[in-house]
């Protein structure tokens, strides 16, 4: 009756061997291709370094003006611009300017990468149910797998530093980008698509003139989600050497520095709110044509 | 511009079948052998869309296809530019069979030979009226200044001057459909497909749009295929009318043919409520020419409807009117009793109790 109370499992020796084989296989793969992979990601590293240098080496008033200008052009709303400036001034006053700029730079690169990779995948998914059926479970894994678990192979392959951090963040943050691009395109009004067909649009013309513009508000929601999720990963990414607001938080956790933790945590919240309000206001502005003026 | 000879494109639909379902092609035989729509659905799991459609649409005229919802009329019009692929049959336009075109030919055909107006307008909500109107030309790859010139001309022609930079959502339904019409006309294609184009509009605006279309047609002389579920609209617009029921053509001919000789009870029940004075032409009822005709004071041209003749007679206080041909030659005489008889008589033939009372 023993088997009733303890689940019959693979015997310990085979299980150990299995794990060993997989581990060794991956280690071998790392040794053989690690350098090659690192070379592939080198352009990303340059982009990261360039972006961080720009954000930290430029005099702060210029950066402040730049961010305020971006906020204005995206939202056309003085309240949002004022909130942005006040938040950034407070962050700077509490001596978190440099860390914040590093984080902003990281988030910027992550978002750009997520958009560049995510939108084409989302488009591919929207065009074929088969592609959708393959990619959906992969996205499920990416979203539910604890991030520490996929940090292990990433660190084994690429070591500690900015690029593995970037990859970890993008893996976590890209699914909403892909999903909402797919959803946005699939939800485009069938009547309008039929009209585009009736006028002899090619697939590319349909995508460019009808599907992408009409899916844009949904895609903007995806970008907003991606930014928020990337920010949520800042602390975890700091464990593998990503600089920015995450590192002081990490220090605060291990040393029980309550105030240090709360200050940096609030700074993350502050920039999250800025990103969120600005990108949402931009998304809303893209939908201006939807306002029904005539009853 | 684009089209070589306006009016040179009649549409010939031959033996067209459409059966929805995974093995539609295999079911054509069954349907040819006389399996009914319900049988096909229950026993074979396929839906009969269209059965053996044969229609010759006149070049440069308005062909109306009329039917109630579910009759297959919208399916039929989508076969003309192959938004829906037929299960079997031919759609011949000019000397080409649309069914046999490959993807590239089909795209070119849609760009240059057809334009379509939709029931729900199907405008691009993120584009202004101007940008919507020039859509077809943009797809064709016409130079930008020609796109704008042409679009502006049609926007003005459909009465939307001053609204070029508005978004569709800012316009009323009637105005949105004017944009839809302008977009189709700017395409400068010889064939205009109108799928219940005016059905979503309220009655006054609908009549208004019908007038716009008839006025335009006098100068553009395109081959128009117009889908509607409204018999009054069909009779007003159609040079020829085909009536569809359960995917089959039950009768086709001119409006007058259909009103005067309904093919079966189904159509008879349709035409019962029609204002016959606006459908029947004077020469149909008039007595062929006799000597006295030349001396009549008033006349109507052949092709005019009974209503016009009756109005002219009442105005002039006459009881007889001459029917004259294009050269002003009298060809017949219509009397007031004849006219009244034709307006009310068929209702007796339809033998509704109501009609008898009127008679």
The contacts of residue B106 (CB under 8 Å, 6+ apart) are A200, B82, B98
Per the CB < 8 Å rule, is A213 touching B111?
Answer: no
B125 closest CA partner among A192, A76, A94, A171: A192
Going residue by residue through chain B, which has 359 residues, state the pLDDT in tens, using 9 for 90 and above: 334 444 456 899 999 999 998 888 888 888 888 888 888 888 888 888 898 999 999 888 999 999 888 888 999 999 999 999 999 999 999 888 999 999 999 999 999 999 999 999 999 999 999 999 999 999 999 999 999 999 999 999 888 999 999 999 999 888 999 999 999 999 889 999 999 999 988 888 899 999 999 999 988 889 999 999 988 899 999 999 999 988 889 999 988 888 888 888 888 888 888 888 888 888 888 888 765 545 677 888 888 888 888 888 888 888 888 888 878 788 888 888 888 888 876 543 433 333 333 33
ipTM of the complex: 0.81
From CA A156, how far away is CA A31, in angstroms rounded? Answer: 9
Q: Which of residues 148-167 of B touch A (CB under 8 A)?
A: 167
Per the CB < 8 Å rule, is A213 touching B170?
Answer: no
Distance from CA of B205 to the nearest CA of A (A): 16
DSSP B210-261: HHHHHHHHHHH--EEEEEES-HHHHHHH-SEEEEEETTEEEEEE-HHHHHHS
Asked if the A41-287 domain carries CATH number 1.10.3720.10, the reply is yes
Indicate the pTM of the whole model. 0.83
- Mean predicted confidence (pLDDT) in A199-212: 94
Q: Is B335 exposed, middle or buried (CB count within 10 Å of its CB: 0-12, 13-18, 19+)? A: middle
- Alpha helix ranges (H) inside chain B: 24-32, 37-44, 73-80, 103-112, 129-133, 135-140, 144-157, 173-186, 203-220, 231-237, 255-260, 265-271, 282-285, 306-316, 336-350, 353-358
Mutate to test the interface with B, among A194, A196, A198 (most CBs of B within 10 A): A198
Taking only the tens place, the pLDDT of each residue in A132-141 is: 999 999 999 9
Per the CB < 8 Å rule, is B110 touching A198?
Answer: yes
Domains in chain B (CATH in brackets) are: 59-81+100-271 (3.40.50.300), 277-358 (3.10.580.10)
Asked if B67 contacts B245 with a C-beta cutoff of 8 angstroms, the reply is yes
Tell whether B81 lies on the interface with A, counting CB pairs under 8 A: yes
Q: What is the largest CA-CA distance in chain A?
A: 77
- Reported as a pLDDT band with limits 50, 70 and 90, residue A110 is very high
Per the CB < 8 Å rule, is A205 touching B139?
Answer: yes
Taking only the tens place, the pLDDT of each residue in B171-191 is: 988 899 999 999 999 988 999
Helix (H, G, I), strand (E, B) or coil at A223: helix
Asked if A111 contacts A230 with a C-beta cutoff of 8 angstroms, the reply is yes
Tell whether B2 lies on the interface with A, counting CB pairs under 8 A: no
Bin B5: left if φ > 0, else alpha if -120 < ψ < 50, else beta.
Answer: beta
B240 closest CA partner among B72, B91, B76, B62: B62
From CA A9, how far away is CA A3, in angstroms rounded? Answer: 9
Strand partners, B16: B53
Nearest chain A residue (CA) to B77: A198
Helix (H, G, I), strand (E, B) or coil at A7: coil
Nearest to A199 among B126, B136, B171 (CB): B136
| Pairing label, strands B330-335, B88-93 | unpaired
| Pairing label, strands B114-117, B191-195 | parallel
Tell whether B170 lies on the interface with A, counting CB pairs under 8 A: yes
Strand partners, B88: B17
From CA A80, how far away is CA A190, in angstroms rounded? Answer: 36
A–B CB contacts, 8 A cutoff, strictly below:
76
Chain-centre distance for alpha carbon B281: 19
Per the CB < 8 Å rule, is A198 touching B83?
Answer: yes
A145 closest CA partner among A236, A227, A221: A236
Distance from CA of B21 to the nearest CA of A (A): 19
């Amino acid at each position: 009756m023993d088997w009733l109370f303890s689940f019959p499992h693979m015997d310990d020796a085979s299980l150990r061997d299995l794990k060993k084989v997989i581990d060794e296989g991956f280690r071998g793969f790392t040794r053989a291709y690690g350098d090659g992979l690192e070379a592939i990601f080198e352009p990303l590293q340059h982009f990261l370094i360039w972006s961080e240098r720009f954000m930290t080496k430029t005099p702060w008033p210029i950066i402040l003006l730049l961010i305020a200008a971006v906020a204005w052009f995206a939202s056309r709303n003085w309240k949002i611009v004022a909130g942005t400036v006040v938040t950034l001034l407070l962050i700077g006053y509490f001596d978190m300017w440099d860390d914040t700029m590093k984080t902003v730079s990281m988030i910027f690169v992550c978002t750009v990468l997520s958009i560049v990779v995510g939108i084409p995948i989302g488009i591919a998914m929207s065009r074929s149910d088969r592609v959708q059926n393959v990619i959906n479970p992969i996205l499920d894994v990416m979203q539910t797998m604890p991030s520490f678990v996929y940090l292990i192979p990433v660190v084994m392959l690429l070591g500690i530093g900015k690029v593995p951090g970037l990859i970890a963040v993008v893996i976590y943050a890209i699914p909403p980008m892909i999903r909402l691009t797919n959803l946005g395109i699939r939800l485009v009004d069938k009547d309008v698509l039929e009209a585009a067909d009736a006028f002899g649009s090619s697939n590319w013309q349909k995508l460019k003139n009808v599907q992408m513009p009409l899916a844009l508000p949904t895609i903007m929601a995806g970008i907003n989600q991606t930014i928020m999720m990337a920010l949520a990963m800042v602390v975890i990414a700091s464990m593998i050497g990503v600089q920015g607001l995450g590192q002081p938080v990490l220090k605060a956790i291990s040393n029980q520095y309550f105030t240090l933790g709360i200050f940096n945590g609030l700074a993350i919240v502050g920039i999250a709110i800025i990103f969120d309000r600005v990108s949402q206001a931009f998304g809303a502005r893209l939908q201006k044509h939807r306002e029904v003026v005539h009853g | 511009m684009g089209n070589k000879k306006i009016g040179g494109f009649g549409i010939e639909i031959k033996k067209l079948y459409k059966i929805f379902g995974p093995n539609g092609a295999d079911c054509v035989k069954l349907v040819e052998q006389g399996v009914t729509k319900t049988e096909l659905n229950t026993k074979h799991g396929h839906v009969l869309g269209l059965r053996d459609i044969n229609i010759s649409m006149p070049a440069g005229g308005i062909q109306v296809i009329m039917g109630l919802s579910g009759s297959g009329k919208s399916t039929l019009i989508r076969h003309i530019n192959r938004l829906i692929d037929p299960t079997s049959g031919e759609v011949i336009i000019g000397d080409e069979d649309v069914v046999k075109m490959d993807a590239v030919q089909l795209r070119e055909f849609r760009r240059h030979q057809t334009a379509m107006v939709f029931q729900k307008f199907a405008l691009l909500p993120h584009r202004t009226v101007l940008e919507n109107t020039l859509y077809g030309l943009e797809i064709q790859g016409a130079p930008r200044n020609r796109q704008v010139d042409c679009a502006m001309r049609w926007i003005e022609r459909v009465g939307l001057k001053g609204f070029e930079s508005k978004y569709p959502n800012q316009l009323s339904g009637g105005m949105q459909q004017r944009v839809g019409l302008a977009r189709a006309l700017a395409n400068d294609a010889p064939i205009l497909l109108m799928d219940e184009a005016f059905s979503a509009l309220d009655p006054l605006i609908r009549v208004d749009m019908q007038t716009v279309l008839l006025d335009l047609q006098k100068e553009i002389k395109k081959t128009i295929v117009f889908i509607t579920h409204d018999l009054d609209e069909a009779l007003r617009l159609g040079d020829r009318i085909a009536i569809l029921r359960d995917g089959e053509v039950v009768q086709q001919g001119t409006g007058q043919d259909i009103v005067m000789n309904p093919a079966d009870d189904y159509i008879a029940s349709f035409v019962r409520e029609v204002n016959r004075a606006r459908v029947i032409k004077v020469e149909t009822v008039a007595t062929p020419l006799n000597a006295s005709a030349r001396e009549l004071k008033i006349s109507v041209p052949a092709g005019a409807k009974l209503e016009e003749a009756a109005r002219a007679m009442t105005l002039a206080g006459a009881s007889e009117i001459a029917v004259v041909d294009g050269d002003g030659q009298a060809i017949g005489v219509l009397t007031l009793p004849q006219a009244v008889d034709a307006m009310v008589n068929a209702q007796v033939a339809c033998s509704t109790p109501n009609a008898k009372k009127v008679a």
